[in-house]
């Protein structure tokens, strides 16, 4: 396909879509992508033999797949593809399919008024969130004047002993059987799931918790607004993954009250998945959340797992083990659990003093596990045949290039050759607009770091020739960017 034809078709398609790209044309340097080192430290020879793959696109019509291999000389090769219609590839999210939150701030409005005297008060789509609080709301409403908003603070456990939970689905494709019909479970909060999970986990409220209630009335005295919030935030840390027959979900609680209770409700649960063949041979994935069950810890090791803050839950590559990364006091541990027996295979200390920072999303690839902290420390583990791990490298990402105002905490791509670890990550373009600098879209280039047991050997930032394909105002659709930008896609690396 000749470049002149490609450019003509691009202008045709984009003009039909109401977007003007008349100022964009592809030069040879942009058709065949090149990378330019903009800043480096150390010896680039440490990266010899490392190949970095960069996939970029412009408005999901023009795509560049470029492989850059470090060496003397470096080698770069680009495959260019044009799609007449918009093409978006799926980028697998590292986050699990489900997460939970505690209802700490809930409100409802009704211009026609909310009838509070009914035993089954209808608060609309948030009715479950007000369960157990009806008497409190009626009480505060009785002291609210017409045409005003009125707020009171009360002891939470004087009215209900448990927190209410909201469930959130990150992915679509799950269904439930309800009233004899197959209904899609949206990624929004589901009231039936909320009630089931709230009743299952029974997260007991702390005695010191307060609830702040606000009632709003119109001039005729109708209650038109009800709002409540918790005085002290309570956070749920959850992580999940989908296995062949269901979803595993880890949960723990964190609040200012944890030090008093000494227990944060840690557990791992299992939610079965079944399949149903409907009309026209359509297959439905059914999330059987009514059958949720606790699978870990069990009675034999209950005391050892009383208090834990969940950071990540993943499945081993062979599907036989669960890998749990969690904080206990100030220490961070990796726990490997056999799925078939729900017994402990390994509990490995990763960091002793991790309480004052945070654990970043771990990276699993090719039998390797990379775990980093927000303060720059990282470790690399290698998997054994029995799914346990051993340490192969530890270090610290603490060198900032001149354009880096802070440590890049984006999850990197990793490559290990047995002696050297390469970390490849994206970085943000700095955009000058209206005499001010802004952090723009991810560059179509990359930053590489190479480490061995002695520490950092090389770090370099490489800009792409595609970075000039951007609009004056940094418009999303008019800027060349990585495939899967904001989703961890577009980069790969290997030795």
| Rg of the chain, C-alpha, whole Å | 27
Q: How far from 308 is each of 79, 369, 378, CA to CA, in Å? A: 48, 21, 21
- For 47, 49, 305, 327, 380, the CA distances from 415, given in Å and listed in that order, are 11, 11, 34, 27, 11
CB of 325 within 8 A of CB of 347? no
CA distance 133 to 205: 14
Residue 23: band (very low, low, confident or very high) from pLDDT cuts 50, 70, 90: very low
Q: What pLDDT does residue 68 have?
A: 96
**pLDDT tens digits, 32-50:** 899 999 889 999 999 999 9
Mean predicted lDDT score pLDDT of the chain: 82
Tokens standing for residue 133 = 């609080």
Question: Are residues 75 and 69 in contact, defined by beta-carbon separation less than 8 angstroms?
Answer: yes
Q: Does an H or E element contain 421, and which?
A: strand 421-425
Return the bridge partners of 176, or none. Answer: 183
DSSP letters, 351-363, are ESS-TTS-BPPPE
Mean pLDDT of the region 407-413: 75
**HEC sequence for 261-314:** HCCCCCEEEEEEEEEEECHHHCEEEEECHHHCEEEECCHHHCHHHCCCEEEEEE
pTM of the model: 0.83
Architecture in CATH for domain 309-400: Beta Barrel (2.40)
Q: What is the mean pLDDT of residues 89-107?
A: 73
67-76, 248-257, 479-488: range with lowest mean pLDDT: 479-488
Task: Name the residue with higher pLDDT: 189 or 354.
Answer: 354
Give the dihedral sign, CA 347/352/356/358.
Answer: negative
- From 397, 491, 485, 445, select the one nearest 60 (Cα to Cα): 485
**Tokens for 112?**
């026609």
pLDDT tens figures, 284-317: 888 999 999 999 987 766 656 656 889 999 999 9
Of 69-83, 302-316, 329-343, the range with the lowest mean pLDDT is: 302-316
Percent of the chain with pLDDT over 90: 43
pLDDT at residue 334, as a whole number: 96
Scored b (16 or more CB within 10 A) or e, 355-378 reads eebebbbbbbeeebbbbbbeeebb
The Cα–Cα gap between 221 and 142 comes to 10
The more confidently predicted of residues 112 and 458 is 458
How far is residue 275 CA from its own chain's centroid?
27
Domain ranges of the chain: 1-91+411-495, 95-296, 309-400
Cis ω on the peptide bond leading into residue 297 (within 30° of 0)? yes
pLDDT computed for residue 339 by the predictor: 93
Give the tokens for residue 369: 């596990």
Structure-model confidence comparison of residues 124 and 279, the more confident one? 279
Q: Which two tokens stand for residue 480?
A: 């060349």
The model's confidence at residue 2, banded by pLDDT at 50, 70 and 90, is very low
Evaluate if residue 121 carries a pLDDT over 60.
yes
Query: Averaged over 187-200, what is the pLDDT?
Result: 79
What pLDDT is recorded for position 118?
A: 65
Planar angle of CA 393, 492, 469, nearest 5 degrees = 135
Q: Is 6 a residue whose pLDDT tops 80? A: no
Cα 372–chain centre separation:
16
pLDDT for position 14: 46
Pair 291, 281: CB distance under 8 Å: no
d(CA 175, CA 185): 5
Q: What spatial distance separates the first Cα and last Cα of the chain, rounded to whole Å?
A: 32
Please state, in angstroms and rounded to a whole number, the distance separating the CA atoms of residues 186 and 191: 11
- pLDDT bucket at 176, cuts 50 / 70 / 90: confident
Chain segment 200-223, per-residue pLDDT in tens: 999 989 889 999 999 999 999 988
Could you tell me if 233 and 254 are in contact, meaning their C-beta atoms sit under 8 angstroms apart?
Answer: no
What are 346-399's pLDDT values in tens digits?
999 999 988 778 888 899 999 999 999 988 999 999 999 999 999 999 999 988
Task: Answer with the residue of higher pLDDT: 487 or 484.
Answer: 484
């Amino acid at each position: 396909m000749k470049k002149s034809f490609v450019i003509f078709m691009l202008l045709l398609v984009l003009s039909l879509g109401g977007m003007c790209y008349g100022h964009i044309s592809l030069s040879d340097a942009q058709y065949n992508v090149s990378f330019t080192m903009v800043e480096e430290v150390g010896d680039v020879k440490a990266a010899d033999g490392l190949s970095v793959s960069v996939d970029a696109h412009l408005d999901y019509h023009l795509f560049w797949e470029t492989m850059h291999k470090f060496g003397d000389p470096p080698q770069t090769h680009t495959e260019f593809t044009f799609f007449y219609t918009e093409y978006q590839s799926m980028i697998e999210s590292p986050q699990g399919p489900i997460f939970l939150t505690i209802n700490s701030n809930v409100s409802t409005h009704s211009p026609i008024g909310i009838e509070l005297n009914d035993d089954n008060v209808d608060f609309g789509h948030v009715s479950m969130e007000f369960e157990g609080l009806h008497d409190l709301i009626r009480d505060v409403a009785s002291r609210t004047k017409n045409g005003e908003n009125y707020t009171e603070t009360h002891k939470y456990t004087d009215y209900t002993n448990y927190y209410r939970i909201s469930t959130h689905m990150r992915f679509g494709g799950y269904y439930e059987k309800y009233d004899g019909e197959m209904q899609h479970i949206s990624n929004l909060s589901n009231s039936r799931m909320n009630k089931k999970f709230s009743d299952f986990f029974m997260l007991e409220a702390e005695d010191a918790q307060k609830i702040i209630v606000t009632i709003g009335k119109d001039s005729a005295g109708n209650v038109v607004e009800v709002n409540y919030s918790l005085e002290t935030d309570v956070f749920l840390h959850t992580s999940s993954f989908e296995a062949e027959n269901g979803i595993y979900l880890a949960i723990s609680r964190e609040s200012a009250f944890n030090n008093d209770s000494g227990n944060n409700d840690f557990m791992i649960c299992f939610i079965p998945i079944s399949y149903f063949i409907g009309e026209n041979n359509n297959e439905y994935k059914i999330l059987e959340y009514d059958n949720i069950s606790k699978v870990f810890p069990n009675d034999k090791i209950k005391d050892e797992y009383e208090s834990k803050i969940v950071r990540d839950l993943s499945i081993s590559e062979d599907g036989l083990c669960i890998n749990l990364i969690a904080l206990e006091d100030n220490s961070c541990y990796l726990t490997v659990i056999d799925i078939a027996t729900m017994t402990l295979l390994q509990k490995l200390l990763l960091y002793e003093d991790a309480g004052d920072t945070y654990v970043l999303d771990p990276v699993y690839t090719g039998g390797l596990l990379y775990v980093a902290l927000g303060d720059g420390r990282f470790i690399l583990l290698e998997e054994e045949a029995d799914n346990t791990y051993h340490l192969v490298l530890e270090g610290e990402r603490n060198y900032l290039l001149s354009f880096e105002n802070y440590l890049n905490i984006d999850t990197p791509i990793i490559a290990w050759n047995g002696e050297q670890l390469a970390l490849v990550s994206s970085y943000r373009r700095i955009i000058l607009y209206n005499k001010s600098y802004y952090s723009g879209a991810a560059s179509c280039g990359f930053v590489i770091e190479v480490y061995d047991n002695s520490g950092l050997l090389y770090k370099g930032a490489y800009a792409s020739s595609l970075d000039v394909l951007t609009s004056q105002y940094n418009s999303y659709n008019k800027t060349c960017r990585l495939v899967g930008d904001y989703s961890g896609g577009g980069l790969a690396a290997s030795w």
